[in-house]
Amino acid sequence: MISCVNLYRMTRVKKGIKDMKKISVLGLGYIGLPTACMLANNGFEVLGVDVNKEIIDKLNCGKLHIEEPELEKIFLDAFKNKKIKISLKLEESDVFIIAVPTPLNHKKKADLSFVVSAADEISGKIKKGNVVILESTSPPGTTRNIVGKIITNSTGFLAGKDYYLAFCPERVLPGKIVYELENNDRIVGGVDKKSAEITQDIYKTFVKGKIFLTDLETSEFVKLAENTYRDVNIAFANELSLICSDYGIDVRQVIEYANMHPRVNILNPGPGVGGHCIAVDPWFILENTKRKDTLIEKSRNINDNMPFIISQRVAEIVSKYKKPKVTIFGFSYKENVGDTRESPAIVINNELIKRKIKVSIYDPLAINTKYSLSGLEDSVNGSDIILLFTGHSIFKEIDLVLVYDLMRSRNIFDTRNFFDRTTVEKLGFNYYNI
């Protein structure tokens, strides 16, 4: 008599990588688009889906809506060879990869509405034996309890039995996304071993790094722990910078010497932590825990407070000038990227304007921002201080003599240790730093 376990095993889907021909990627942002291109250029028929018609139209004209080194090449390779199709409409596929945004809502909780609608859409197209992979960074339990539950509730399909379900977080650094997509190690969490293995096989087609397998919740947690580790370390550096300034000690020198210790690696203090990862993911860890007074929350608050501290210091420096003007150099959340999402420079801009201080912004890399950006000369003309917020490499080319001539007062507040103090002081600037 066949035991029910065997009967159950017999009814389980049995598919392998060779059965996976067509992959749909839902969400064509900084992660979804490069991932779709990688898969398309490594043997799969790929459908790229996004709800934003502007993005779809732009991509279908062979144009990109985001700037990342090498991304245009891998996209045009796939697009011109018809290996990737771009559409607003999802189609039946063997694999569905969800790479939609998971922003924070006003209660510092994950807004999973894009994940929910992606799972709903997939429910309408999924077939037995398909693979569903969540890439979007999410609170622990999201893959099983949100994506898995939605599919089961609307199709009756069980994850691990009728279809494969996995979580495979991206770990790429904006500015190096294409390179890191290929070369970083990956963690894959499966609702069961088979789901993890088949997902590993799919990513192995383009990932040169190692791929480690675990369960869903562990892989979700690993992603959050990585970014929270960095946030806590940056908070330590920022707090150290505040205490050092109380002592009148140069925190940069302290960090430089301390990092000579074999087991010390203090990160860089700065004007705040931006982007939609490091400033967001720690809250996802705290989302379902009742623990109070955590180091993680304290670190978030320290980093979130930095742009206010910087605004206060800038206001103090320019308080002696009539109708002061501040020039912000760099508006992106970090160097050499154009992404201004969650950039602390937005907080500083708003804080200074609230204090009736005129602000002009110079950032030739910044894209998709509603804030008005000026050319170099207009931005420094009649200005009293340059607030170096983001250290784009191209700022090294700036003619500081020209800047000096155009400014009304010559102050530089360098929040990134970007300029050489001796050089700018020799030019006659007053130099301030964190």
Binding ligand SAJ (rule: CB under 6 A), the pick from 83, 186, 334, 410 is 334
Please state whether beta strands 164-167 and 186-190 pair in parallel, antiparallel, or not at all (unpaired): antiparallel
> Quick check: 300 binds ligand SAJ (CB under 6 A)?
no
Q: How far apart are CA 354 and CA 346, in angstroms?
A: 12
> Quick check: 273 binds ligand SAJ (CB under 6 A)?
yes
Stretch that binds ligand SAJ, among 34-42, 192-200, 203-211, 274-282 (CB under 6 A): 274-282
Identity of the residue numbered 195: S
> Quick check: 346 binds ligand SAJ (CB under 6 A)?
no
Give the total of residues touching ligand SAJ (CB under 6 A). Answer: 20
Helix (H, G, I), strand (E, B) or coil at 327: strand
Q: Which has the closest alpha carbon to 343: 249, 412, 264, 271?
A: 271
Q: How far apart are CA 300 and CA 283, in angstroms?
A: 8
Binding ligand SAJ (rule: CB under 6 A), the pick from 42, 268, 381, 409 is 268
Q: How far apart are CA 38 and CA 205, in angstroms?
A: 9
> Quick check: 307 binds ligand SAJ (CB under 6 A)?
no
Here the tokens at position 363 are 């950032």
In whole angstroms, the minimum distance from the beta carbon of 184 to ligand SAJ comes to: 8
> Quick check: 277 binds ligand SAJ (CB under 6 A)?
yes
> Quick check: 226 binds ligand SAJ (CB under 6 A)?
yes
> Quick check: 391 binds ligand SAJ (CB under 6 A)?
no
H helix or E strand, kind and range, residue 253: helix 251-258
Q: In the window 143-172, what residues touch ligand SAJ (CB under 6 A)? A: 170-172
Total number of residues shown for the chain: 434
> Quick check: 304 binds ligand SAJ (CB under 6 A)?
no
In whole angstroms, the minimum distance from the beta carbon of 160 to ligand SAJ comes to: 27
In whole angstroms, the minimum distance from the beta carbon of 226 to ligand SAJ comes to: 4
Question: What x/- string results for residues 108 through 137 when contact with ligand SAJ is judged by CB under 6 A?
Answer: -----------------------------x
> Quick check: 186 binds ligand SAJ (CB under 6 A)?
no
Which one from 83, 223, 325, 334 is the annotated catalytic residue?
Answer: 223
> Quick check: 138 binds ligand SAJ (CB under 6 A)?
no
Burial of 48: CB neighbours in 10 Å, binned 0-12, 13-18, 19+: buried
Identity of the residue numbered 108: K
**Paired strand residues for 373:** 361
Which one from 37, 168, 244, 277 is the annotated catalytic residue?
Answer: 277
Q: Rounded to a whole number, what is the largest CA-CA distance in the chain?
A: 93
> Quick check: 278 binds ligand SAJ (CB under 6 A)?
yes
Stretch that binds ligand SAJ, among 16-24, 80-88, 222-230, 358-366 (CB under 6 A): 222-230
> Quick check: 330 binds ligand SAJ (CB under 6 A)?
no
> Quick check: 230 binds ligand SAJ (CB under 6 A)?
yes
Here the tokens at position 67 are 């700037």
Alpha-carbon dihedral 74, 75, 80, 82, rounded to 10 degrees = 100
Q: Which residues contact 153 (CB under 8 A, 6 or more apart)?
A: none
Q: Is 125 a catalytic residue?
A: no
In whole angstroms, the minimum distance from the beta carbon of 245 to ligand SAJ comes to: 16
Residue number, 277 or 352, with CB nearest to ligand SAJ? 277
Here the tokens at position 261 are 């210790």
Stretch that binds ligand SAJ, among 5-13, 79-87, 266-274, 417-425 (CB under 6 A): 266-274
Residue number, 121 or 287, with CB nearest to ligand SAJ? 287
Q: How many CB atoms lie within 10 A of CB 181?
A: 26
Q: Is 277 a catalytic residue?
A: yes
> Quick check: 174 binds ligand SAJ (CB under 6 A)?
yes
Stretch that binds ligand SAJ, among 52-60, 111-119, 257-265, 273-281 (CB under 6 A): 273-281
Residue number, 172 or 286, with CB nearest to ligand SAJ? 172
Q: In the window 39-98, what residues touch ligand SAJ (CB under 6 A)? A: none
> Quick check: 234 binds ligand SAJ (CB under 6 A)?
yes
Inter-residue long-range contacts of 197-203, CB under 8 Å, 24+ positions, other chains counted: 198/15, 198/16, 198/17, 198/20, 198/131, 198/164, 198/166, 199/131, 199/133, 199/164, 199/166, 199/168, 201/16, 201/17, 201/20, 202/17, 202/20, 202/23, 202/39, 202/95, 202/131, 202/133, 203/168
Q: How far apart are CA 182 and CA 43, in angstroms?
A: 15
> Quick check: 274 binds ligand SAJ (CB under 6 A)?
yes
Stretch that binds ligand SAJ, among 128-136, 223-231, 378-386, 421-429 (CB under 6 A): 223-231
Residue 41 sits at φ, ψ, to 5 deg, of -85, 5
Catalytically active residues are: 223, 277
Interface positions with ligand SAJ (CB under 6 A):
137, 170-174, 226-227, 230, 234, 267-268, 270, 273-275, 277-278, 333-334
